[in-house]
Amino acid sequence: MSKNGLGPVHDNPQHTAVAVIWIDWYPYHVARFIGLRSAPELAGNVTGIELVGGIGVHAGLKFREELPDDLPVLTLMPDADWQRAGQLRLARKLWKTLSKVDPQVVLVPGYYTLPAIAAALWAKLHRRQSVLMTESTAGDHIRVWWKEKAKALLIRTLFDWAVAGGTAHRRYLEELGFPMDRVMRFYDVVDNSYFHRKASELRRRSASEFSLPPGYFLYVGRLSEEKNVDGLLAEWIRYREGGGTWPLVIVGNGPASRELQQQASLSAFAPDIHFAGHKGLSELPTFYAFARCFVLPSTREPWGLVVNEAMAAGLPVIVSSRCGCAEDLVDPAKNGFVFNPAVPGDLGQCLCKMEDAAPRELARMGTRSEEIIGRYSPRAFGEEVAAIANAGIGHPLHSYS
């Protein structure tokens, strides 16, 4: 099939069962897409639509990697960046593409962009099933009542179904009045088998081969204010001042990079703080393989897919209560700890608890992580969407007053 939106989309004349849309596709989008195509009920009859092939929603940072050539994914503007492409132009291209693909089910990424609204409207006007893919929670932002009323009306009007990340996301949809019998699960998944397999292979080698310290706390993600990496650094320094010994490895890049490195350089423990920079999919398993514990300290995080990756690699985790995944992925004291980033010292106590755990206990926690994350797989996401497709067409939501 054509990758630029100009050529034929399918070699067969039948309608596409599912079209899934994302702005710019990362490896976890590819994993979800493969999960969709693996669902027997969909018989592989799934088309992907990528809006832009350049820099996506994170201005100045390109996280997208090249898509496999054998996947039926259509990139509408391969050389364009999200900020410059123009949402009206993208919405028009998307409308035309959906008319060509003619899917029975349209998976829409959110409700806050013009292309997303256009996709949902296309589905409604053509009597197709419109599905909201969402990882929004009530705590993501300060909520204003009248905006919430308008949002509630919008999503109930535009969408027949929703696929949510977890408990906090389902709860927010319920607060917005979306019918719970139309909310499916397992939106936030990654390729678990990849991270498990690669980490297991790498552990046969030594951390020193990769210029990494022995057993460390690990952070992976953007270096930006809401990620609270400065808070992690401060708590880690206090943990070391109290006698802690584990190093800290920080993987990622972003607008706070310079300030964080300066903050680290002023510490007496600077030699044990390692900034690795941004790493792609092929490089990440190395960092998971030799860590003892993964930490996600965000003050705002809709889900936190890096937690999925770390758990698939068999790591205990320490996760902020502000992360959307905390309720679902952390079994307190069984595979990790949840802390409140607004409480000074709360994270530091968790760091100490991890180091105090015996090696056998850490291994048990890592095993429990693998058990929990095993339920959150691309295949599970595909099965949830297949259930929507099997529900058929022509079953609109009840009307709202």
The number of CA neighbours under 13 Å toward the Cβ of 156 is 19
pLDDT score recorded for residue 21: 98
Convert 199-238 into a string of H (helix), E (strand) and C (coil). Answer: HHHHCCCCHHHHCCCCCCEEEECCCCHHHCHHHHHHHHHH
How many C-beta neighbours within 10 Å does residue 335 have?
22
pLDDT score recorded for residue 14: 52
pLDDT score recorded for residue 15: 65
Residue 249: in which H helix or E strand, if any? strand 248-251
State which residues of the chain have pLDDT below 70.
1-15, 392-401
Pick the CATH number of 18-189+378-390 from 3.40.50.2000, 1.10.1740.10, 3.40.50.11740, 3.40.47.10: 3.40.50.2000
pLDDT score recorded for residue 16: 86
pLDDT score recorded for residue 391: 87
Query: Which structure tokens are listed for 167?
Result: 């408990």
Domain 192-373: what homologous superfamily?
A: Glycogen Phosphorylase B; (3.40.50.2000)
Per-residue pLDDT reduced to its tens digit, 214-224 = 999 999 999 99
Per-residue pLDDT reduced to its tens digit, 73-113 = 999 999 999 999 999 999 999 999 999 999 999 999 999 99
Residue 131: in which H helix or E strand, if any? strand 129-134
Per-residue pLDDT reduced to its tens digit, 337-354 = 999 999 999 999 999 999
Vertex 148: Cα angle to 146 and 149 (nearest 5): 65
pLDDT score recorded for residue 60: 77
Please state the domain extents for the chain. 18-189+378-390, 192-373
pLDDT score recorded for residue 43: 86
Query: Which structure tokens are listed for 379?
Result: 């295949």
Same fold? 18-189+378-390, 192-373? yes
Per-residue pLDDT reduced to its tens digit, 222-239 = 999 999 999 999 999 999
- DSSP class per residue in 88-122: HHHHHHHHHHHHHH--SEEEEE-SSSHHHHHHHHH
pLDDT score recorded for residue 22: 98
**Cβ(75)–Cβ(46) under 8 Å?**
no
Euclidean distance between CA atoms 36 and 123, whole angstroms: 19
pLDDT score recorded for residue 228: 98
3-state secondary structure of 162: strand
Per-residue pLDDT reduced to its tens digit, 277-301 = 999 999 999 999 999 999 999 999 9
User: Where are any strands of DSSP class E within 16-84?
Assistant: 18-22, 46-52, 73-77
